[in-house]
């Protein structure tokens, strides 16, 4: 682990925030033109964009990108995923859109899934008594017919079988198994349902590329994570892609530090907790100083935005305590079902609870909370109204209102 000597450089919380915001595209001018190339460059710089199905306002991946590009439209992401194939969909810590140049590194993950899935009771229960026959049947149909969805397979299970959200039919379990192990790829989506096809047809170059060695994979996972975080502990490096263990990341940091490739630092915390031993990109000071000032506007962030993904890290860097409460029983929620944090410049200053009434063309703000010490000035109120105007236009609402 990093030495804990007070002689180590202290990275101010403000500098750590700037490094993260810059790496994650939140210091760029959101008014720049949203083109396929610009969007791809952004996703590559961020590392990936988490994909989520909840559509209470708009799906999280679209909200994440719209916070960085005022002119973003969902068709741009679909173009990169489904037409140009510059992005592919798979798992990091969750389902994500990932630059296709990284596809070969997923081969390590494919192998791990292959070892785990068919030995897991949950999967075996859903695959049924003869998984080999179902796998062969699904493969044969895909080879012969091309892209298929779960609904293209009849559910032949008897009456009384659990057919709710996780009550997958055997063919659905096979499609997911073959996707997670790299034999299939997501060729597109229809009403957010996956369309599967053979990976060799969807991403021929990535599918044919050699598997990186374990050492290459570890170096890629840690080095690229640190580039996208700026300052991080070994555990945070491991958690970024969810591709290596904390122990593997710790060993990598020790080797990289010995080679002078990363720097041992103390990271100041904005929440008043003690500084933590961490690792930094070696030029963290000049890199932070060279970043542009944050755009002078308020932006509304998706619950799965990269700067919120690690809740403990968000608390330390921004002194902002955020919990996603969609899966919390309603009577136990502090704020709401799908709360959007409010980013003002480089600070998280509040949060709001929105709902889009598509039948009425109305974006309703059910509640609004400013952080302690944040005054609702006229300028701040005007900036929030401008952000709500942008969000309403993006989601197709004719207007918005804040519930009294």
Domain assignment present for 329: yes
Q: What is the pLDDT of residue 165?
A: 47
Q: What is the pLDDT of residue 130?
A: 86
pLDDT digits (tens, 9 = 90+) for 89-127: 999 999 999 999 999 999 999 999 998 887 888 888 888
Q: What is the pLDDT of residue 404?
A: 77
- What does the alpha-carbon distance between residue 373 and residue 403 come to, in Å, rounded to a whole number? 23
Domain assignment present for 327: yes
From 202, 218, 248, the end of a domain falls on 202
What are the residues facing 50 on neighbouring strands? 96
Residue 161, domain extent: 118-202
Domain assignment present for 132: yes
From 202, 228, 247, the end of a domain falls on 202
- What does the alpha-carbon distance between residue 295 and residue 28 come to, in Å, rounded to a whole number? 7
| Local mean pLDDT, 10-residue blocks, the chain (404 residues) | 68 97 98 98 98 96 98 98 98 97 98 88 84 92 97 73 64 94 97 97 97 98 98 98 98 97 98 96 97 96 97 97 95 96 98 97 98 96 98 98 90
Q: In sequence order, what DSSP letters do the residues of 357-389 get, joined into one string? A: ETTTTEEEEEEEEEPTT----HHHHHHHHHHHH
Q: How far is CA 166 from CA 122, 172, 326, in A?
A: 10, 10, 18
Domain assignment present for 341: yes
Domain assignment present for 282: no
Q: Which two tokens stand for residue 223?
A: 């080095």
CB 155 within 8 A of CB 113: no
Domain assignment present for 51: no
From 183, 202, 221, the end of a domain falls on 202
Domain assignment present for 92: no
Q: What is the pLDDT of residue 3?
A: 52
pTM of the model: 0.94
Query: Helix, strand, or coil here: 61?
Result: helix
Sequence-distant (≥ 6) Cβ neighbours of residue 138 within 8 angstroms:
153, 171, 174, 175, 178
Total number of domains constituting the chain:
2
Compute φ and ψ for 69, nearest 5 degrees.
-130, 110
Domain assignment present for 366: yes
**47 φψ region: left (φ > 0), alpha (ψ -120 to 50), beta (else):** left
Q: Which residue has the tokens 């060729």?
A: 187
- What does the alpha-carbon distance between residue 17 and residue 12 come to, in Å, rounded to a whole number? 9
**Domain CATH code at residue 142:** 1.10.10
């Amino acid at each position: 682990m990093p030495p804990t000597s007070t002689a180590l450089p202290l990275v101010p919380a403000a500098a750590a925030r700037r490094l993260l915001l810059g790496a994650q595209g939140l210091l760029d001018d959101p008014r720049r033109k949203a083109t396929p190339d610009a969007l791809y460059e952004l996703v590559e710089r961020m590392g990936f964009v988490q994909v989520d199905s909840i559509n209470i306002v708009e799906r999280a991946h679209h909200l994440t990108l719209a916070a960085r590009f005022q002119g973003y439209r969902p068709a741009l992401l679909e173009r990169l995923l489904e037409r140009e194939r510059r992005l592919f969909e798979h798992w990091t810590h969750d389902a994500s859109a990932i630059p296709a140049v990284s596809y070969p590194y997923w081969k390590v993950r494919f192998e791990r899934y292959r070892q785990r899935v068919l030995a897991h009771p949950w999967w075996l229960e859903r695959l049924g008594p003869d998984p080999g026959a179902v796998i062969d049947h699904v493969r044969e149909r895909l080879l012969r017919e091309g892209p298929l969805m779960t609904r293209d397979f009849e559910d032949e299970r008897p009456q009384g079988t659990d057919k709710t959200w996780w009550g997958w039919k055997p063919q659905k379990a096979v499609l997911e198994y073959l996707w997670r192990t790299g034999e299939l790829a997501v060729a597109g989506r229809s009403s957010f349902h996956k369309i599967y096809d053979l990976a060799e047809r969807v991403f021929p170059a990535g599918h044919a590329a050699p598997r990186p060695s374990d050492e290459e994979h570890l170096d890629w996972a840690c080095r690229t994570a640190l580039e996208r975080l700026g300052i991080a502990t070994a555990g945070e490096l491991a958690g970024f892609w969810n591709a290596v263990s904390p122990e593997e990341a710790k060993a990598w940091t020790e080797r990289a530090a010995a080679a002078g490739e990363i720097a041992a630092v103390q990271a100041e915390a904005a929440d008043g907790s003690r500084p933590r031993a961490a690792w930094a990109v070696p030029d963290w000071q000049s890199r932070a100083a060279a970043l542009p000032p944050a755009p002078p506007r308020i932006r509304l962030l998706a619950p799965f935005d990269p700067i919120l993904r690690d809740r403990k890290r968000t608390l330390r860097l921004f002194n902002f305590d955020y919990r996603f409460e969609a899966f919390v029983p309603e009577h136990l929620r502090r704020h709401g079902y799908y709360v959007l944090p409010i980013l003002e410049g480089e600070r998280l200053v509040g949060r709001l609870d929105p709902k889009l009434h598509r039948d009425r063309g109305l974006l309703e703000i059910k509640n609004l909370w400013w952080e302690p010490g944040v005054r609702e000035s006229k300028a701040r109120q005007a900036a929030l109204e401008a952000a709500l105007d942008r969000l309403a236009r993006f989601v197709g609402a004719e207007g918005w209102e804040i519930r009294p």
